[in-house]
Structure 1
Amino acid sequence: MAVLQNKNRTPYKNKRYSKPRKPVKKEIFINETRNETRIAITENGQLAEILLERPENTRMVGDIFKGTVARVNPGMRAAFIDIGFDHDGFLHFSDINESVHDFMDLFESEYDEDSTPKSRGTTVRGEWMPKPGQEIIVQITKEPIHDKGPRVTTHISLPGRFIVLVPNDKQIGISRKISNFQEKRRLQKIARNLKPDDFGLILRTVALGKSAEMIENDFNSLMSNWKIIEKEIKSAVPPAIVYKDMEMAFSVIRDLLTEDVGKIVTDSKKLYRKLGSYLKNLSPHLLEKLQYYNDPVPIFDAFNIEPEIEKTQHRKVWLKSGGYLIIDHTEALVTVDINSGRYQGKKEHELNSLKINLEAVPEVARQLRLRDIGGLVVVDFIDMDDEKNRKSVYVSMRKEMAKDRARSKVFELSELGLMEMTRQRIGPGLLYRVSDVCPICDGLGRVISKDTLMNKIERWIMRMKIENTERRLILNLHPDVAFHFTENSRESIRRLMWKYWVKIDVKNDAELSMNEFKIISKKSGEDITEQFIS
């Protein structure tokens, strides 16, 4: 699909959209099992974000590494850093702190017997370039995607609840969302009193109205962490990780728990206690929002979240009018096609097209956020001839994308009805986290991963045990999947049997796709799969 570039069209950056918004009631739900942690964020009762983390694929953004410059490519204005991954980290020259060489000198041994000066790199056209073999401290800003390594920066930062600590910097920053002049001055004064030499501080939005004591406690905690990191940097032999950011559940609470969050609900007693301790130290007044869910019905079923998550794995998204979206992923971009579908308008074609397009706009924005789609996105709207109508759709999309905490740029519609936009990409997106490349079509499509399928089976058994006394089940799977669970991953099935006290016999069923499973009651011989599907 060709992407048209119109130089007369200007991008809209969502961070500049300042029109007052209606209050949004947020709720956070956390489902934790041995296999994965899932976090659902709802806004006014509707699922807005789903975050997922598994033991073998933990979140990397924010992790700090001591690496070695593997190679430098001046033409790309980038260096590639060996931090111990299959693919080297990508360090663009624009992500290199101007005083990074002074920063690295802080970690050289005072008793280094080698008196030969170490190379600090070179400067080309005003830009400092590292040299191959040079040790360097970097932080991951984007996770690996496809066959690309992670993106890294030398601008190190440690986020806390109220402030962000920036080593090797001298600036004080205040969140742009804090607009009150008196409050800005108060926070700047607090920051000046706290800031050590060679450190920068950024006051986050949640610092608004917080006491100097609370902000100082957060600062002291971050400084303690940094002292530990400094020791790790001095002793580590590259490539080595010197700092691992918080678990996903804690980072979400740290970054997203504000006064407009109504409640945080988790089904893990262990996590409930840990989060309670964390909140007690940093924001005790928010402790009452934390709730423990202890009901046999799975938490995401009880709050009608599971069906919405299932829909994110489908290409087609229905609109209330009968129209629908088709979302397709390619290597270069993501396309969203708007179709009128079953909609039968009574007005002329232009007005019908405008109605469906305007209905599609908030759903497109929601799906991009829900599926964590980043990079280049092209939306193919239904054709409209009237320039005012195209402008209306553009303005509406600007407004909807401004609600997203990920940065984005939105361009006006082209004459062919195409809208180009970019959305900040930090990770591979939800689709790539829960699916594998399809082995049948050689990568043209995707199937849900075996871990995802096993988690779906476990949730099915949880529902079944609430209403049913079945003790013996036959689990039918595609032959390739069945082989995986009986030969390569037997422990997964054994764990389910012990945990739910049920005997499971795995059988091959060539009629099933790799996304499906079928469960038969051994007692009655009946297919009971649909009875307990969410």
Structure 2
Amino acid sequence: MPMVIDEILITALGTDRRVASLANGRLRRFALRVPGDDVRAGDIFVGRVTSVDRRLAAAFVDIGAERAGLLMLADAADPRNPPSEGDRVVLRVLRAADGSKGAKLAARPPLPADLVAEGKGLRPPQRLRKAADPVLTAVESALANTEGPGLARVVVDDAAVLAELRAAFPDLGERIEFHRGLASLFASEGVDEMLDAALLPRVPLPSGGAILISETPAVAAIDIDMAAATGPGMTAVRATNLEAMAAIAEAIVLRDLAGHIVIDPLAARDRSHRGDLVSALRTAMAGDDRILRWGGFTPLGLIELTRERRGPSLRRQLGTVCGACGEGWQRAPWVAAGDALRAVLAEGRAHPGRLPRLVAAPAVADALNEAMAPAKAVAEERQGGPLVIERDATLAPVGYRVAVADAAVGLRP
């Protein structure tokens, strides 16, 4: 059944927008706008073909991004007459760039005729249409689901976004609220804690078992661990496997795992039990808005599926993943910078009349003066004065602390 989102929390500092969608108090989806990210899934560009690789049956297209986009010739407007080097093409972004890979592009299904006509008259590369803002998309998605009690409230900590939402969704009325607490919105609602948990490789199960998630550029591997789960023999194995299917579906959506996904269940040799597991997973994934292709059980006893990829996973959006092993991870400096700004504002609200100062690792300080400079300007406007930043190379690589008078608070590694 479709996922029923009953609460949406939105924190914004200029272009740094982060959206948490919850169901029954649990974080189910997380979306954000990455500062400086000019290409997102859903954008439409007029680009120029820079080269065609017949062996790959693909063309590389300049859309004005750091890396050329990839157009599979089968996804061209006319696959029987694919574009040549130098041709002007109007394309939709199917998947945002990820690591060393450029954006994936397509002209199929056919784009609106007016956009194609407009693009033919423009000099590439240019963007013709932006993808929907993640804030509006989250609310629209929640409202589209008519099952259950529906969307109970939308809480926002930015006046401009509040006005934008009230104009776009007038029927929500008083359900759109402005956050007035002293603590930051995500801290007060427990989102920071839930998000940190969503970035860990281990997800505990109520029975005492766990699922272990490993991301690599080629595959997302999920292992079911019985661990402390108790029960008599195969009964406990079956119960743990079935319990894990719901947790796996939730993790796939929240972490935005995509591409090739492989699941290793516990001793699922019985055909009936295998069928129950695939059925349970398909039911739990029924509310997903991505294209899923099911491979079922392999001869080696693994469950395989693919999920449509529209961009980097949540871990890759929020930080840097070890390219070789997929395990090591560090929060991105711009993410830590946004966290730090919100901590500064919270301390300012808790200590009226005093401007906190931020002590930050060099990478975080640099992000505040570069990618996050617009967000810093908004924070300074809110607190009524310039933000004092002190660089401290002894902190963890993306660490910071907020100091008010002689007190230091908000330390984060």
Q: TM-score range by the shorter chain?
A: 0.7 to 0.9
Go from structure 1 to structure 2 and tell me whether the alpha carbon gap of 1:381 and 1:53 turns closer, same or farther (over 3 Å shift): same
Number of the residue aligned with 2:154: 264
Q: Tell whether 2:92 aligns with 1:152.
A: no
The offset of 1:255, in angstroms, is: 4.7
CA contact (8 A) 1:493 1:504 kept: no
TM-score normalized with structure 2 length: 0.84
CA contact (8 A) 2:43 2:131 kept: yes
Q: Secondary structure at the match of 2:55?
A: helix
- Identify unmatched segments of 5+ residues in structure 2: none
- Identify unmatched segments of 5+ residues in structure 1: 1-20, 99-122, 158-165, 169-225
Name the CA distance, whole Å, in 1 between partners of 2:392 and 2:305: 47
Number of the residue aligned with 1:222: none
Name the CA distance, whole Å, in 1 between partners of 2:316 and 2:372: 25
The offset of 1:94, in angstroms, is: 2.6
Go from structure 1 to structure 2 and tell me whether the alpha carbon gap of 1:503 and 1:470 turns closer, same or farther (over 3 Å shift): farther
Number of the residue aligned with 1:306: 192
The offset of 1:27, in angstroms, is: 2.5
Go from structure 1 to structure 2 and tell me whether the alpha carbon gap of 1:471 and 1:497 turns closer, same or farther (over 3 Å shift): farther
The offset of 1:295, in angstroms, is: 3.1
* Letter aligned with residue 232 of structure 2: K
Number of the residue aligned with 2:255: 371
After TM superposition, list the pairs within 5 Å mapping 1:434-445 onto structure 2: 434-436=318-320, 445=328
Name the CA distance, whole Å, in 2 between partners of 1:30 and 1:486: 21
CA contact (8 A) 1:78 1:93 kept: yes
Number of the residue aligned with 1:393: 277
1:246-277 C-alpha deviation (Å, 9 max, x unpaired)? 33323334454324333333222212212222
CA contact (8 A) 2:22 2:28 kept: yes
* Letter aligned with residue 264 of structure 2: D
Name the CA distance, whole Å, in 2 between partners of 1:139 and 1:384: 42
Number of the residue aligned with 1:248: 134
Q: Secondary structure at the match of 1:317?
A: strand
The offset of 1:423, in angstroms, is: 1.0
The offset of 1:231, in angstroms, is: 7.8
The offset of 1:333, in angstroms, is: 0.7
Name the CA distance, whole Å, in 2 between partners of 1:372 and 1:475: 32
After TM superposition, list the pairs within 5 Å mapping 1:421-460 onto structure 2: 421-436=305-320, 445-460=328-343
Number of the residue aligned with 2:19: 39
CA contact (8 A) 1:93 1:129 kept: yes
Number of the residue aligned with 2:179: 293
CA contact (8 A) 2:348 2:355 kept: no
Q: Secondary structure at the match of 1:128?
A: coil
Name the CA distance, whole Å, in 2 between partners of 1:71 and 1:406: 30
Q: Secondary structure at the match of 1:336?
A: strand
Number of the residue aligned with 1:167: 112
After TM superposition, list the pairs within 5 Å mapping 1:218-229 onto structure 2: 226=114, 229=115
CA contact (8 A) 2:2 2:287 kept: no
Number of the residue aligned with 2:54: 74
Name the CA distance, whole Å, in 2 between partners of 1:367 and 1:361: 10
CA contact (8 A) 2:336 2:364 kept: no
CA contact (8 A) 1:476 1:519 kept: yes
* Letter aligned with residue 340 of structure 2: I
Number of the residue aligned with 1:481: 363
The offset of 1:427, in angstroms, is: 0.8
Counterpart pick for 2:89 among 120, 136, 160: 136
Name the CA distance, whole Å, in 1 between partners of 2:379 and 2:397: 20
The offset of 1:35, in angstroms, is: 5.4
Name the CA distance, whole Å, in 2 between partners of 1:279 and 1:474: 38
Query: Which structure has the larger Rg?
Result: 1
The offset of 1:425, in angstroms, is: 0.6
The offset of 1:85, in angstroms, is: 2.2
1:281-336 C-alpha deviation (Å, 9 max, x unpaired)? xxxx4455433333333222333322111212222222222222222111211111
Name the CA distance, whole Å, in 2 between partners of 1:23 and 1:65: 32
Counterpart pick for 1:274 among 155, 158, 164: 164
Give the share of equivalent positions with the same residue, in percent: 22
Q: Secondary structure at the match of 1:393?
A: helix
Number of the residue aligned with 1:12: none
Go from structure 1 to structure 2 and tell me whether the alpha carbon gap of 1:274 and 1:59 turns closer, same or farther (over 3 Å shift): farther
Name the CA distance, whole Å, in 2 between partners of 1:279 and 1:71: 45
CA contact (8 A) 1:473 1:505 kept: no
The offset of 1:515, in angstroms, is: 4.6
* Letter aligned with residue 79 of structure 1: A
* Letter aligned with residue 112 of structure 2: P
CA contact (8 A) 1:474 1:506 kept: no
Go from structure 1 to structure 2 and tell me whether the alpha carbon gap of 1:62 and 1:346 turns closer, same or farther (over 3 Å shift): closer
Name the CA distance, whole Å, in 1 between partners of 2:151 and 2:369: 45
Go from structure 1 to structure 2 and tell me whether the alpha carbon gap of 1:378 and 1:34 turns closer, same or farther (over 3 Å shift): same
Name the CA distance, whole Å, in 2 between partners of 1:293 and 1:366: 27
1:10-53 C-alpha deviation (Å, 9 max, x unpaired)? xxxxxxxxxxx488353222211135101111223321100010
Number of the residue aligned with 1:333: 219
Go from structure 1 to structure 2 and tell me whether the alpha carbon gap of 1:248 and 1:528 turns closer, same or farther (over 3 Å shift): closer
Go from structure 1 to structure 2 and tell me whether the alpha carbon gap of 1:477 and 1:372 turns closer, same or farther (over 3 Å shift): same
* Letter aligned with residue 59 of structure 2: A
* Letter aligned with residue 45 of structure 1: G
Number of the residue aligned with 2:392: 507
Number of the residue aligned with 1:218: none
Name the CA distance, whole Å, in 1 between partners of 2:32 and 2:221: 23
Name the CA distance, whole Å, in 1 between partners of 2:376 and 2:173: 38
CA contact (8 A) 1:78 1:91 kept: yes
Counterpart pick for 1:324 among 202, 207, 210: 210
* Letter aligned with residue 374 of structure 1: A
TM-score normalized with structure 1 length: 0.67
CA contact (8 A) 1:472 1:523 kept: no
Q: Secondary structure at the match of 2:223?
A: strand
Number of the residue aligned with 1:177: none
Name the CA distance, whole Å, in 2 between partners of 1:95 and 1:34: 36
Counterpart pick for 2:122 among 212, 236, 244: 236
Go from structure 1 to structure 2 and tell me whether the alpha carbon gap of 1:77 and 1:268 turns closer, same or farther (over 3 Å shift): same
Q: Secondary structure at the match of 1:129?
A: coil
The offset of 1:378, in angstroms, is: 1.1
